Amino acid sequence: MLKNIARSIVTLLLLLIGSVNLTSGYTLRGTLPSNLQLSPKLIESTYFTLESNNTAIADKKAFIQRNRDFAFHNVSVGSYVVNLHSINLQQLSYRINIEEDSVKVYDYIAGNGWESLGHRVPYPIEIPATPLINYEVPRETFSLIEMIKNPMILMSLASLVMVFALPNILNNLDPETVQALQAKQARAGNNDVNHIQKKINDFDMAEFLAKKTSRS
């Protein structure tokens, strides 16, 4: 009788210890390279995710701490991938196996299935020093020179010059030449000046500018 009670108590204790272990879980740690300049922007934009192949285990997220460490708390035994997300650091992943008494970290081989493991690497995870990526792309600004370099604009500018310059040139010519020119134009049956004028009228500046700005 006493023996049975003692056995029950021991079983109960073991169960309790087991459940404590289960709820506290493991803490998975890693650190960033010591020579990495931690700008506020980098700290803000960098985080780690922990994903399991067991869909019952929710993904976890961890941010960089002041001592350049990161940690996932309450991680249960299982298989995981840690991903580094950042706009300044190279994307990186590790394959992690958490067992009852050990944490094993491997390089992640993309697209090779969950079972395949890369080289074993030390734990806690040490993120290697890589050059910072600067994704900041200069905004395209409105530039008059760029606009003038556009063939459409060049064409209409040339036409404009013609429209305004031609009458002046004609006025300055002697009457004989003017007559000859007019005769020639009449023969061609196509009034160049009117033709150019029409082209300019057809060119929709607002539409052109809208296209130009929506590209940026």
Ligand X SMILES: *[C@@H]1O[C@H](CO)[C@@H](O)[C@H](O)[C@H]1NC(C)=O
Does position 53 interact with ligand X (CB under 6 A)? The reply is: yes
Residue type, 159: S
Phi-psi region of 111 (alpha: psi -120 to 50; beta: other; left: phi over 0): left
- Is 102 near ligand X (CB under 6 A)? no
76 binds ligand X (CB under 6 A): yes
Shortest separation between residue 128's beta carbon and ligand X, angstroms: 25
Q: Which of 79, 88, 156, 159 binds ligand X (CB under 6 A)?
A: 79
Binding mask 107-136 for ligand X (x = CB under 6 A): -------xx---------------------
CB of 114 to ligand X, least distance (A): 5
- Could you say which DSSP state residue 96 is in? E
Q: Which is nearer to ligand X, 79 or 86 (CB)?
A: 79
Gap between the Cα atoms of 65 and 32, Å rounded = 10
As a whole number of angstroms, the distance between CA 168 and CA 185 comes to: 17
Give the number of other CB atoms < 10 A from CB of residue 30: 22
Residues 107, 92: Cα–Cα separation, whole Å: 9
Which of positions 15-34 make contact with ligand X (CB under 6 A)?
23, 25
